[in-house]
Each structure stands twice: as C-alpha cells, then as structure tokens.
C-alpha cells in the first residue's frame, strides 16, 4: 500500500524527469503558472481595497464607556463587586433588602469608573457583624483596595471603599428594625438597547426577547431602516442614538452622523435633522458617546431646542459625570430622563447579572429605573434569563413612559 511519504517521493522523481525532457515546452508551461498568480494577486488586492473603502465605514463605533475605563480600576471594582455579592449570598440577605441608591460615572485624572452607593438591610446583629468583617477584609484581598469607616451607630454603619485612592463604593449596613416600609405598587423599569444598526439579526433577537425593550438606533448604519421597521412592526419603541463628540476624539470616533464641538449651530441643526429623518418612528433621542459634547451648555441648548421643535424626548446616557443634558432638558420643559445603570460595560455574564440586580434594586427604592445595554449576545442571554422575574416583580415599560 502506498503511503503519504511514497506519494511525495514519486512526485519528486517525476519532477526531475520533467525538467530533463521538457525542452522548449518549459516556457509554455510557465505561462499558466504566472497567469494563475496574477489572478490571485488581483483578486486579493481587490478585496483589500474594498475593505479600505467600505469595510471600515461599516464597522460599529466603539462603546465609549468600555473604551475609556481604566483597566486597573475596572479590575479592582470587579473584585469588590463579586466579593460583595458572594457575601450577601452567604449571609442570606434577600435582594429586596439590598438598595442601590445610585451608580455614578466618575471622570478624574484621565480615569473613568463607576461609584456605587449601596445600603444593605441586615435581619440581625450577627449578619451585620459578619458583613462588617467582610468589608474590612476587602483590603486584605488586594493592596490597592482600602476601607475606611465613615460613621457608626447601633442601627447603622457606613464604609467607603477606595481603589488606588479613588472612592469606588459607599456601603451602608442597617439593622432590621429601621427598615422603610415596602412599596405596594410594582416598580417600573425601562431597558434601552443602544448601538443598533450594524447587525439586524441580533436586533431582531432583542425584539423577540420577551421583554418590551426600547431600541436606540444609529442614524446612518447599514441596517438602520430595516431595524426600525422591524421594531415598529413588533410594537417596540425606537429612539435615535445620536453620536456626539467624546473626550477621546479623534482617537475615539463616534461614527457617522455625529455632532462635534467645532460645528456651527446651523451645521448641527442640519445634521440632527438628517439623522432624525434616517431613523423612522423615533420618539426620542439619547446620546452615543458625547462625554465632551454633553458638558457644553451652548451646544446642548441647540440640540435640545431642536428636539423640542420636533416634539421628542431626551434621555441622558450620562457618559460624563459633568453632563448638563438632563438638567437643561428639564429647564426647557422637554420630557426627559437619565440613565441609572449601564448593564454591560463588562460583558462577562456574571457582571451583567450583577448590574441587572442593581437596576432592580434602584427601581425598588426609587419606584423606577432606566438601564442601558448594548447588542451583545451575553446581554441578550441575561435579559432572556430574567424575563420571567421582570414580568412578575416589575412593570417593564418603554422608556417613553418614564420621561417627565
């Protein structure tokens, strides 16, 4: 039986014979070989040119919150969050007794991170004491983490947790006898899925997730129109996801249809009107990126006045702690709201579940909360997983019902 090695050996011998007997035929045999490589080169050169001209334009813009997060800060915050949830689970603290007052985006010294303010209601002194020990032990897990007690009494103790000197968590522990009465009505939750327009299949999957989501769509993406029509046909609200200048520009680019600080008021209005026309059925607007733009009062006034003229609401994505968007919209009498939680800055499923629990906690505490997610498969999985819990314990509504 001929082996692979024998076949290679015979082939080599035949090549030697062919070289000796080819004579004048050699030149004619080279023509097909050169012709083949010529076609090969032209074909792949065409693909490369097509990528430069078309492919780069259709790549979805980077999500600013992920791009600008400090890796060190993010890593340590993740350690704290995971440890906190493990401690709550081990101490059998019910989710209704964990209250997230807020999760704020902090910009400082070219770093970006989330500051979490949480209240934990303990059923007895024993569980409260164990949680206090856990909080102090955080500094032993990592040298970059420090813990300081702000205040302490018989009913409550408050701690501040910092990473590399930056405050990341405020954790308050409260005893059962001092609980506030529970709300009788179901809290309201709205979930916005941002950055849609580059993949109509994942958009359709979110539409059919079993949860009434609000879809925020880029104005000039390849599948903007198709996604808007699909959403409207299934009863989902649509928003314009308006690209705005980030602080990292031009290193970080917000994508087509963006508003920039150097633009004149007339130019901004022209672009905004074109963007709105590109997104059929849009009932409101929220910003994509915009950590620089949303801090500029004069520029935001131009945008918000134009939205008011069109009868649209505004949701501030809060990509900057210094944003003026929400306050300006309120002053102008424009229906408005602001984001409470980003669900998937970290795309690990456990991290997304933690953010979902934070969203639930804020809704229970405030009566309503708004979460923003992105078109990730992991985000879709978590939303589907929580769909029964959402329907049973919350009133999930389009974000248009939470603006005021």
Mean pLDDT, residues 104-113: 78
pLDDT digits (tens, 9 = 90+) for 71-101: 668 888 888 999 898 889 888 888 888 988 8
Whether the ω angle into residue 250 lies within 30 degrees of 0, i.e. cis, is yes
pLDDT for the residue 49: 41
Mean pLDDT, residues 218-227 taken together = 98
Distance CA 139, CA 291 (A): 32
> Any residues with CB less than 8 A from the CB of 105 and at least 6 apart, and which?
65, 112, 113, 114, 115, 318, 319, 320, 321
Give burial (CB, 10 Å; 0-12/13-18/19+) of 372: buried
**pLDDT value of position 7:** 35
Tens digit of each residue's pLDDT (9 = 90 or more) over 321-364:
899 999 999 999 999 999 999 999 899 999 999 999 999 999 99
CB neighbour list of residue 240: distance below 8 Å, 6 or more residues apart: 216, 217, 219, 275, 276, 279, 282, 284, 285, 286
Query: Any bridge partners for residue 189, and if so which?
Result: 369, 396
Higher-scoring residue by pLDDT: 147, 47? 147
Enter the CATH code of domain 188-401. 3.20.20.370
Per CATH, 66-178 and 188-401 having the same topology is answered no
pLDDT at 35: 53
pLDDT bracket for residue 25 (50, 70, 90): very low
* pLDDT score for 143: 86
What per-residue confidence (pLDDT) applies to 16? 41
What integer pLDDT is reported at residue 57 of this predicted model?
41
Domain ranges of the chain: 4-53, 66-178, 188-401
Q: Which of 307, 286, 247 is nearest to 373 (CA)?
A: 286
For residue 39, the model assigns a pLDDT of: 56
pLDDT the model gives residue 139? 87
CA–CA gap between residue 97 and residue 155 (Å, rounded): 15
- pLDDT band (50, 70, 90) for residue 252: very high
pLDDT at 63 over 80: no
Measured CA to CA, the distance from residue 193 to residue 376 in angstroms comes to: 10
Q: What is the pLDDT of residues 225-237, one digit of tens each?
A: 999 999 999 999 9
The encoded tokens of residue 61 equal 């813009």
What does the pLDDT average to over 32-55? 49
pLDDT tens for each residue of 163-217: 988 999 999 999 866 544 555 689 999 999 999 999 999 999 999 999 999 999 9
Best CATH choice for the domain 66-178 from the list 1.10.357, 3.30.420, 3.30.460, 1.10.3470: 3.30.460
Model pLDDT, residue 187: 96
- Beta strand 166-175 with 368-373 is unpaired
């Amino acid at each position: 039986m001929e082996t692979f090695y024998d076949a290679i050996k015979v082939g080599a011998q035949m090549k030697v014979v062919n070289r000796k007997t080819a004579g004048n035929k050699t030149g004619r045999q080279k023509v097909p070989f050169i012709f083949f490589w010529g076609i090969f080169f032209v074909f792949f050169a065409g693909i490369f040119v097509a990528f430069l001209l078309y492919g780069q334009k259709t790549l979805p813009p980077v999500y600013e919150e992920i791009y600008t997060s400090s890796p060190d800060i993010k890593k340590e915050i993740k350690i704290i969050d995971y440890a906190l949830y493990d401690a709550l689970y081990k101490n059998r603290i019910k989710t209704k007794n964990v209250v997230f007052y807020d999760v704020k985006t902090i910009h400082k010294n070219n770093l970006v991170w989330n500051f979490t303010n949480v209240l934990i209601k303990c059923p007895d002194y024993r569980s409260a004491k164990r949680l206090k020990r856990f909080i102090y032990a955080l500094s032993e897990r990592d040298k970059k983490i420090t813990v300081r007690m702000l205040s302490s009494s018989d009913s409550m103790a408050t701690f501040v947790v910092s990473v590399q000197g930056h405050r990341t968590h405020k954790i308050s522990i409260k005893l059962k006898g001092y609980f506030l009465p529970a709300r009788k009505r179901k809290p309201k939750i709205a979930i916005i899925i941002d950055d849609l327009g580059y993949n109509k299949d994942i958009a359709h999957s979110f539409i059919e997730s079993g949860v009434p989501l609000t879809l925020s769509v880029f104005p000039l993406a390849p599948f903007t129109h198709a996604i808007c029509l699909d959403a409207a046909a299934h009863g989902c609200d649509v928003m314009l996801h308006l690209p705005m200048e980030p602080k990292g520009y031009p290193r970080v680019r917000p994508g087509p249809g963006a508003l920039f600080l150097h633009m004149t008021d007339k130019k901004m209005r022209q672009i905004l009107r074109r963007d709105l026309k590109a997104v059929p059925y849009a009932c409101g607007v929220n910003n994509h990126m915009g950590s620089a733009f949303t801090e500029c009062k004069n520029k935001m006034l131009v945008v918000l006045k134009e939205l008011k003229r069109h009868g649209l609401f505004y949701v501030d994505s809060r990509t900057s702690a210094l944003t003026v968007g929400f306050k300006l919209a309120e002053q102008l009498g424009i229906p408005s709201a602001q984001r409470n939680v980003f669900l998937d800055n970290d795309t690990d499923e456990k991290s997304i579940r933690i953010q979902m629990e934070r969203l639930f906690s804020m809704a229970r505490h405030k009566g309503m909360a708004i979460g923003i997610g992105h078109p990730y498969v992991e985000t879709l999985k978590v939303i589907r997983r929580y769909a029964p819990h959402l329907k049973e314990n919350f009133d999930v509504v389009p974000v248009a019902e939470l603006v005021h």
